[in-house]
Every structure is written in structure tokens, then in C-alpha cells.
Amino acid sequence: MGCSGSRIASGDALVRGVSFVTVKGMSMRYTILAGLLAVALSVGACASAIMRSYMGQPLQAAMLDYGPPVNAFDMPDGSRAFQWVMTSTYTTPTTITSTTMPIGNIWFTNTQITGGQAISGRCIYTMLARWADARNAWVLYDYKPPSLMCE
């Protein structure tokens, strides 16, 4: 799966079109949890790796890639926190199932449509910077790891 990002649909336990089926003897809840853990491990903390790549660089390096931060505030130690918010929306796969049954000379068809729901997620990414007089810029030195669903 790499660092290309994963999409997890809660309830369906779908990860990029791969569904987890119940293992014999395991409840659906534990199967889903095991699947989510596998996805988390395979993703390899992508967002954290990207954020880590900006450490030691001026704030403008991140701004060139992600635009200006939506929030900035001073920390008690004199550093400053900068935050970016990213919202993503995707649609769950749609499945159409039809069954046709003859009764005498008449055919009856039952069609069931599932999926197609739009799911949105919001992620906040925070990086910390210190002012560097020599560079006349805020220099990134740390970040707050994003939530698991935002990695």
C-alpha cells in the first residue's frame, strides 16, 4: 500500500476496495480490529514521515507544498505552532444486486442497492517552529503526530 494514503470506511471495514471477512471463530468486531491494525502497520506512518522531512527547514518549505497554515499560535517556550487542516471526502463503493424469480407466467425482480455514501474526514497537522535570527525565518523543529486515521 505504501505512502499513497489509505481510506477506511467505518462500518464496512473497506480499505481501498479490500474487504475483511470474518475468520471462523472470530467475531466480526475482532476481525475488523485486526484488519485496521494491519492497515495501520502497512501504511507506515506516512503523514509523520512527510512532516519529519520538513524538520530543520524554514516554514516556507511546508507552505510551498500545502499553502499557508490555517492557524498559528505561540507556545509557552517561545516556539510557535502552525496548523494545517485537510478535509477529504470519498464515496463508498456501490453494489447493485438483483434477483429474478418466476411465479407462473410472471417474473418478479427484486433489486437492492447498497453503498454510495459520501464519507468525509478532517485531519489537523501541527508543526512546531522556532524563530532563527540568522535565517530570518521560523524553522521547523518538531511536529505533533496526527491521529491514526490521518496517517
> Does the predicted model carry a pTM greater than 0.85?
no
Beta sheet of 80-91, edge-to-edge order: 71-74, 80-91, 118-132, 137-144
pLDDT tens, position by position, for the chain (151 residues)? 445 443 333 333 333 343 434 444 555 555 555 555 555 444 446 888 999 999 999 999 999 999 999 999 999 999 999 999 999 888 999 999 999 999 999 999 999 999 999 989 999 999 999 999 999 999 999 999 998 888 8
Residue 133: alpha-carbon gap to chain centroid: 36
Residues 66-79: b if buried by 16+ CB within 10 A, e if exposed:
eeebeeeeeeeeeb
What region, left, alpha or beta, does residue 37 occupy, with left being phi > 0 and alpha being psi -120 to 50 degrees?
alpha
Q: Domain residue spans in the chain?
A: 1-44, 45-150
Given a contact cutoff of 8 angstroms between Cβ atoms, the answer to whether 147 and 45 are in contact is: no
Pairing type for strands 106-114 and 118-132 reads unpaired
